[in-house]
Amino acid sequence: MIKLKEGDKAPAFTGIDQDGKKVSLADFKGKKVVLYFYPQDMTPTCTVQACNLRDNFSMLKKKGFEVIGVSPDEVAKHKKFEQRNKLPFTLIADISHKILDKYGVWDQKQLFGHKYMGVLRTTFVIDEKGIICKIFLKPKSKSHPEEIMTAVK
């Protein structure tokens, strides 16, 4: 369950990206970060969301945003997802759910009456000081960058 609120300090994390490199939130100190959590590479809605962020990446960069995607998929699957969709941003493999747990986005879900553990699709916008300035609990996959730009001036 997501317990973080807007105005909270973003939890520090370190993970491995699609290139096998260590990435920490601290690496982005002094920058605005769009930290988005998604269930799984190669699935329809996750692909739409990632490609929409890709298509609007230059607009986000002009406004000073860095983009980081996090899912429980493995590094190799992230690399394939990045290459297949020409994604220009970092994807972190969180197989152990450490980052997902810190942000409260690994939780029980339900589909057709079946309960299971999974990622709650959520985006945290973090300011230059490391403070969460906006949380999107159910981002609109087809228009997420516009949603971000409208909410965060």
d(CA 100, CA 45): 19
Phi/psi zone of residue 57: left (φ > 0), alpha (ψ -120 to 50 degrees), beta?
alpha
Burial of 109 (0-12, 13-18, 19+ CB in 10 A): middle
SS3 assignment for 33-54: EEEEECCCCCCHHHHHHHHHHH
Which regions in the chain score pLDDT beneath 50?
none
Q: Which of 10, 33, 46, 100 is catalytic?
A: 46
Containing 82, the helix (H) or strand (E) segment is: helix 75-85
* C-alpha dist (Å) from residue 7 to 4, 40, 52, 145: 9, 28, 27, 21
pLDDT in tens, 91-116: 999 999 999 999 999 998 888 889 98
User: Residue 144 has what pLDDT?
Assistant: 84
CA-based nearest residue to 37, from 147, 144, 153, 150? 144
d(CA 135, CA 33): 12
Any idea what DSSP says for residue 26? Answer: G
Buried b (16+ CB within 10 A) or exposed e, 66-91: bbbbbbbbebebbbebbeeeebebbb
User: Residue 150 has what pLDDT?
Assistant: 84
Any idea what DSSP says for residue 12? Answer: P
User: Residue 143 has what pLDDT?
Assistant: 86
133 given a catalytic annotation? no
CATH topology of domain 30-151: Glutaredoxin (3.40.30)
Domain ranges in the chain are 30-151
